[in-house]
Amino acid sequence: ALITLRQLLDHAAENDYGLPAFNVNNMEQVQAIMEAASAVDSPVILQGSAGARSYAGEPFLRHLILAALEQYPHIPICMHQDHGAAPGVCFRSIQSGFSSVMMDGSLQEDAKTPSSYEYNVQVTRLVADLAHACGVSVEGELGCLGSLEEGKASLDHSLLLTDPNEAADFVQKTHVDALAIAIGTSHGAYKFSQKPSGKVLRIDRVREIHARIPSVHLVMHGSSSVPEDWLAIINSYGGDMGQTYGVPVEEIVEGIKNGVRKVNIDTDLRMASTGAIRKHLAEDKKNFDPRKFLKEATKGMTGICKARYQAFNSAGQA
């Protein structure tokens, strides 16, 4: 059944677990996420970016989700719009039947330039008012979600992290159900060039923000762990991703213990898919039936989904 983000994360908060939110663009991703959820009895967040909508096309993306709902009637599914760069993107998703939307007002509409706080409040409030009138949940974002390690080395790290007082003010002004916070993660596969030796997440900051806004669910973007086994497979079957590290699963689990409820993961499934396909094609050079390598991709992604449901304790909660 379709469920809102608010309902799903309220349940997660009451029962002390976190939910992975996996990005979806195609049928194999949806099938992998659902097969894994059904196997371990976890609720599901399927999230589609604006890029996913333009890749698949709005009707195909919508019907992929409807197919998941039809095939798995016993699993609660939240259909969430990821990173809406403008109110119009969110309104289009509401019209499509999404049960949750993210208004990412932390960046200007070009999705590149950091926005002013006033702009962020204004667009997020607008989306929240309309979404709530339609029974749809809203996620906002506050803080600069970049890499704390590279590129911005000259900046004071504390400037990149979400400020707890500002978070409280933002929530009071916008009425969001969930808030994406900057606590040391960044998007994509290239988060850390060295194997993390200490802690990469600012758990202290999670705790402070959670204490200020306990009823708003905290979201961690850029939460791929960049699995070393899939990286090795990609690089040994013709790929060239270089050496790179993500957020250790144990640290995400610590975040969940301190108030994080939604954990965004895209890169890990991209890597499993690419690795499985590269390996299959390298080993079976005569095959030209795409179903065979797509099946391998689905299997690889299913393994990661199951592992995250179990680690975040959403297994058994559907």
Q: Which residues are catalytic?
A: 82
Environment class of residue 77 by beta-carbon count within 10 Å: exposed (0-12), middle (13-18) or buried (19+)? buried
Q: Which two tokens stand for residue 51?
A: 């890029």
Residue 288 CB, nearest approach to ligand 13P (Å): 31
265 is an annotated ligand-binding site residue: yes
Measured distance CA(192)–CA(190) in Å, rounded = 6
Q: Under rule CB under 6 A, which residues in 258-317 are in contact with ligand G3H?
A: 266
Q: How many CB atoms lie within 10 A of CB 158?
A: 9
* Residue from 97, 93, 123, 94 nearest 108 by CA: 123
Q: Which residue has the tokens 């006033």?
A: 118
Smallest separation (angstroms) from ligand 13P to the CB of 298: 18
C-beta closer to ligand 13P: residue 154 or 194? 194
Q: Give the CA dihedral 77, 83, 88, 93, nearest 10 degrees.
A: -10
Q: Is 238 exposed, middle or buried (0-12, 13-18, 19+ CB in 10 A)?
A: exposed
Q: Are 271 and 231 in contact (CB under 8 A)?
A: yes
Using rule CB under 5 A, residue 102 touches Na ion? yes
Residue 266 is assigned to a ligand binding site: yes
Between 41 and 196, CB nearer to ligand 13P: 196
CA separation for the pair 179, 171 (Å, rounded): 8
Annotate each residue in 62-81 with x if it binds ligand 13P (CB under 6 A) or - if it does not, as one string. --------------------
User: E strand or H helix at 54, and its extent?
Assistant: helix 50-56
* Segment 84 to 143, residues that bind ligand 13P, using CB under 6 A: none
- Residue 100's SS3 state is strand
Residue 268 beta carbon to ligand G3H: minimum distance, rounded to whole angstroms:
10
Residue 4, marked binder: no
Q: Which does 52 bind (CB under 5 to 8 A by kind): ligand G3H, ligand 13P, Na ion, none?
A: ligand G3H
Whole-angstrom Cα distance, residue 307 to residue 318?
16
Q: Are 34 and 74 in contact (CB under 8 A)?
A: no
Q: State the angle between helix axes of 27-40 and 290-311 in degrees (0 to 180), rounded to the nearest 10.
A: 40
> Shortest distance, CB of residue 289 to Zn ion, whole angstroms?
35
Kindly indicate which of the ranges 159-167, 245-253, 256-264, 297-305 contains the residues binding Zn ion, using the contact rule CB under 5 A: 256-264
Give least dist CB 75 to ligand G3H, A.
23
- The piece of 36-44, 96-104, 113-121, 182-190 that touches Na ion (CB under 5 A) is 96-104
User: Which region, judged by CB under 6 A, interacts with ligand 13P, from 62-70, 110-118, 265-273, 274-282?
Assistant: 265-273
Residues that bind ligand G3H (CB under 6 A): 23, 49, 51-52, 82-83, 187, 266
Binding site for ligand 13P (CB under 6 A): 23, 82-83, 187-188, 221-224, 264-267
Q: Residues comprising the binding site for Zn(2+)?
A: 83, 104, 141, 187, 221
